[in-house]
Every structure is written in C-alpha cells, then in structure tokens.
C-alpha cells in the first residue's frame, strides 16, 4: 500500500473516530446530561442486528447486515447528529443531501468506496430484507436507550422517541415482540 493510500486510511479512521465524541443530540435536548455517543449507538445497533439475525426466520447475509449496522451513521462524523427537532427544521431533503455529500467525501478515492456507499444507500432506502433488519435494529436500540434513560434519570420527557418508532413501523415480528415488551417495562 502506498504512503498516500495509508494517509487516506488514517484520515478516514481519524474522521470516524469523531463518532466516539459526537453526542446523540436528541437526548441532550431532552435534559439527559451524559448522553450516549453516535459510536455507542452504532455499537448498540450492530448488537441488536446480530441478535435479530438469530430471531428472524429469514436467511440473511450476516456480514452484510453487520457492516451496514456499523456504518449506518458514518456520515455523522462529518455532519454531526441531527435530532428529531433539528431534522424537522431543515428544508426537505437537506439532511439526506448533506449525509450523501459526507459519505462521498469520506469514501473518495477508496477502491471499496462504491461498495460502502451502496451499502449505506441500501440502509437509507430500507428496501432489502437486510436493510429492513438494520432499520429495526436502529429503532430497537433507540427505544432501549430511551427506556434506560427514563429509568436511570426519571426523565419522562422522552415520549417523542417512542412515537417516532411505532410498533407498525417495524418489519420483523421479532422486533415488534421486543418493542411490545419494552413498552410493558416502561
């Protein structure tokens, strides 16, 4: 590997490392003091996806699902995390355009860039069974975190997160069972 290639790899690693320090802003806006980072969330999504792979009755591509789960919020290393409130206040499509540009910037010049971008686009469109499973995992992790914050802080100002992910929005019955159980625990 050429020195120029290694410097681009280091640049990508450095940029993605920002996700460890990028707070999930929606929690902070709701009064949660020590919020999870985007990297914390991505780990949670990957773990939930791995678990869902064991619970669903479809034969899905495990490596594809896990790669998608880990990289689904990669653009936020450049754009930052947009809360539900923040996203609502952007012009239609602006968040998507910004995240697409961030992905292009992050992956420019890499031989694997088109493959990673295609996987991210697949997640965004949520049309394949793998993308639907990762979407479910994304929202299961969100509601797991909401429940954890409600329990640990007593903050009951998190209803909008539950409303953002209604039971009918989940693609897999295993996900819906988890959400029904979380709602009962709530």
Q: pLDDT per residue over 46-60, tens digit each?
A: 999 999 999 999 999
The more confident residue out of 87 and 114 is 114
- pLDDT at residue 81 greater than cutoff 80: yes
Q: Please tell me the predicted confidence (pLDDT) of residue 16.
A: 96
If DSSP codes are grouped into helix, strand and coil, which group holds residue 23? Answer: strand
pLDDT single digits (tens) 7-31: 999 999 999 999 999 999 999 999 8
Q: Please tell me the predicted confidence (pLDDT) of residue 86.
A: 77
Express as a percent the part of the chain with pLDDT over 70.
98
Q: What is the CATH number of the domain that holds 160?
A: 1.10.3210.10
What number of H helices and E strands is found in the chain? 11, 0
Q: Distance between CA atoms of 130 and 142, rounded to whole angstroms?
A: 18
Measure CA 19 to chain center: 11
Q: Distance between CA atoms of 166 and 86, rounded to whole angstroms?
A: 20
- pLDDT at residue 1 greater than cutoff 90: no
- pLDDT at residue 2 greater than cutoff 70: no
Q: Alpha helices, DSSP H only, in the chain?
A: 3-17, 25-29, 38-55, 62-71, 76-79, 84-88, 94-107, 113-125, 129-153, 159-164, 173-185
Do residues 69 and 42 touch, judged by C-beta distance below 8 A?
yes
Which residue, among 89, 77, 87, has the nearest Cα to 38 in the 3D structure?
77
Q: Please tell me the predicted confidence (pLDDT) of residue 93.
A: 87
Angle, vertex CA 180, rays to CA 129 and CA 68, nearest 5: 30
37 DSSP β-pair partners: 23
Q: What is the mean pLDDT of residues 114-129?
A: 96
* Tally of domains within the chain: 1
Give me the phi and psi of 37, to 5 degrees please.
-95, 170
Q: Please tell me the predicted confidence (pLDDT) of residue 155.
A: 81
Which residues span the domain enclosing 171?
3-185
pLDDT single digits (tens) 128-174: 999 999 999 999 999 999 999 999 998 878 998 999 999 999 999 99
Q: Please tell me the predicted confidence (pLDDT) of residue 11.
A: 95
Q: Please tell me the predicted confidence (pLDDT) of residue 90.
A: 84
Q: Please tell me the predicted confidence (pLDDT) of residue 128.
A: 98
Q: Distance between CA atoms of 74 and 68, rounded to whole angstroms?
A: 10
Q: Distance between CA atoms of 101 and 99, rounded to whole angstroms?
A: 5
């Amino acid at each position: 590997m050429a020195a120029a290639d290694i410097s681009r790899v280091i640049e990508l690693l450095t940029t993605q490392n920002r996700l460890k320090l990028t707070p999930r802003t929606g929690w902070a806006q709701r009064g949660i003091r020590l919020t999870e980072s985007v990297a914390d969330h991505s780990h949670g999504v990957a773990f939930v996806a791995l678990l869902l792979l064991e619970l669903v009755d479809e034969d899905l591509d495990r490596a594809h699902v896990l790669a998608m789960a880990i990289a689904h919020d990669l653009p936020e290393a450049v754009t930052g995390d947009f809360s539900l409130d923040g996203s609502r206040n952007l012009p239609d499509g602006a968040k998507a355009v910004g995240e697409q540009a961030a992905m292009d910037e992050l992956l420019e010049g890499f031989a694997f860039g088109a493959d990673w971008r295609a996987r991210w686009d697949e997640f965004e469109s949520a049309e394949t069974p793998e993308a639907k499973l990762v979407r479910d995992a994304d929202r299961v992790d969100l509601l797991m975190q909401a429940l954890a914050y409600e329990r640990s802080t007593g903050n009951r100002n998190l209803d909008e997160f539950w409303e953002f992910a209604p039971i009918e929005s989940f693609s897999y019955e295993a996900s819906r069972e988890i959400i029904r159980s979380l709602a009962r625990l709530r």
